[in-house]
A and B are shown apart, each in its own frame.
Chain A
Amino acid sequence: KNEVEQSPQNLTAQEGEFITINCSYSVGISALHWLQQHPGGGIVSLFMLSSGKKKHGRLIATINIQEKHSSLHITASHPRDSAVYICAVTPWGGSQGNLIFGKGTKLSVKP
């Protein structure tokens, strides 16, 4: 079983829809990261959070530490949001910052 699980694997939405991507993890963590990977391959860090909720524009990330679960929400989705969204965690402890990744959710937003 992977330490970081994402659902769904693939998601197709119509422009304007509200989107939710889920992430569950099985290890103790220092932080959870949401990343976006565009078709060209580049990776952008969207959020890093260890508790509560963060918002940036139309993107909202939440985390429930007790339930080991995080969600990424996209409001008023747009075709330019089409990308792979990757959940990653920094394992608890030590002075290292490496990430353990989920397999990603491929989002396609149709006009």
Chain B
Amino acid sequence: DSGVTQTPKHLITATGQRVTLRCSPRSGDLSVYWYQQSLDQGLQFLIQYYNGEERAKGNILERFSAQQFPDLHSELNLSSLELGDSALYFCASSWGSSNQPQHFGDGTRLSIL
């Protein structure tokens, strides 16, 4: 058990809809990372937050947004969903903002119909 909790585990929705994925980091960890794993692109970095502030941005679409709350949990919001957004979305956490081992959640599997 990594100590990182992601909910929900599975999500099925339709094109054009909006969903929110939630992540609770391991106790004591200040950084939260979001990654997307799709069949064609593999694992890709989306965004990092450190202690409530955005620290790094990767290949995150404008339709996607994230935030980290004062209690350090994070949410990833995906809107105007397209078929190609179907993927596994992982959250990871670490104590520091860089050069730290990352602890991964079990992922949220998003299926767009």
Contacts and interface: CB of A to CB of B under 8 A. Distances in A.
Those 3 A-B pairs whose CB atoms lie nearest each other, nearest first: A96-B56, A43-B104, A97-B98
A98 interface: yes
A96 B103 contact: no
B102 A30 contact: no
A64 to B, nearest CB: 19
A66 interface: no
Given A42-B106, A42-B107, 6 more contacts: A30-B98, A90-B98, A96-B97, A97-B48, A99-B35, A99-B45
Interface in B28-46: 31, 33, 35, 42-45
A103 B88 CA distance: 15
Interface of B: 2, 31, 33, 35, 42-45, 48, 50, 55-56, 58, 88, 90, 92, 94, 96-104, 106-107, 109
B106 A97 contact: no
Interface bracket on A:
20 to 34
Question: Most chain-A CB neighbours within 10 Å: which of B55, B96, B99?
Answer: B99
Nearest to A101: B43
Interface string A2-34: 000000000000000000000000000011010
A30 B100 CA distance: 10
Contact of B33 (A35, A44, A97, A104): A97
B33 A98 contact: yes
A31 B99 contact: yes
B45 A100 contact: yes
Interface of A: 30-31, 33, 35, 40-45, 48, 50, 86, 88, 90, 94-104
A101 B44 contact: yes
Contacts of A94: 56, 98
A42 B104 contact: yes
